[in-house]
Amino acid sequence: MAKKEAMKVVRNLDLEKYMGMWYEITSVPSFFQPKDGTNTRATYKLNDNGTVNVVNETWSKGKRVSIEGSAYMADPSNDEAKFKVKFYVPPFFPNIPVLGDYYWVLYIDNDYQHVLVGEPRRKFLWILCRQTKIDEDVYNQLLEKATEEGYDIKKLHKTPQADPPPFSTVEDEDNKGNWWIKSLLGK
Instruction: Report the alpha-carbon distance of residue 81 to residue 106 in Å, rounded.
Output: 8
Residue 183 pLDDT: 46
Expressed in angstroms, the distance from the first to the final Cα of the chain is 34
For residue 79, which amino acid is it? D
Bridge partners (DSSP) of residue 109 are none
List, in sequence order, the alpha helices (H) in the chain.
Answer: 15-18, 136-148, 178-184
Residue 5 pLDDT: 81
Please write the tens of the pLDDT for every residue from 30-78: 777 788 999 999 999 999 999 999 999 999 988 998 888 899 999 999 9
Q: What phi and psi values does residue 78 have, to the nearest 5 degrees?
A: -110, 145
Is the Cβ–Cβ distance between 58 and 39 less than 8 Å? yes
Structural fold of domain 16-184: Lipocalin (2.40.128)
pTM score, whole prediction: 0.85
Please write the tens of the pLDDT for every residue from 78-130: 999 999 998 866 555 555 556 666 899 999 999 999 999 999 999 999 999 99
Is the Cβ–Cβ distance between 166 and 59 less than 8 Å? yes
Please write the tens of the pLDDT for every residue from 153-166: 999 999 999 988 88
Q: How many CA atoms lie within 13 A of 32 on its CB side?
A: 17
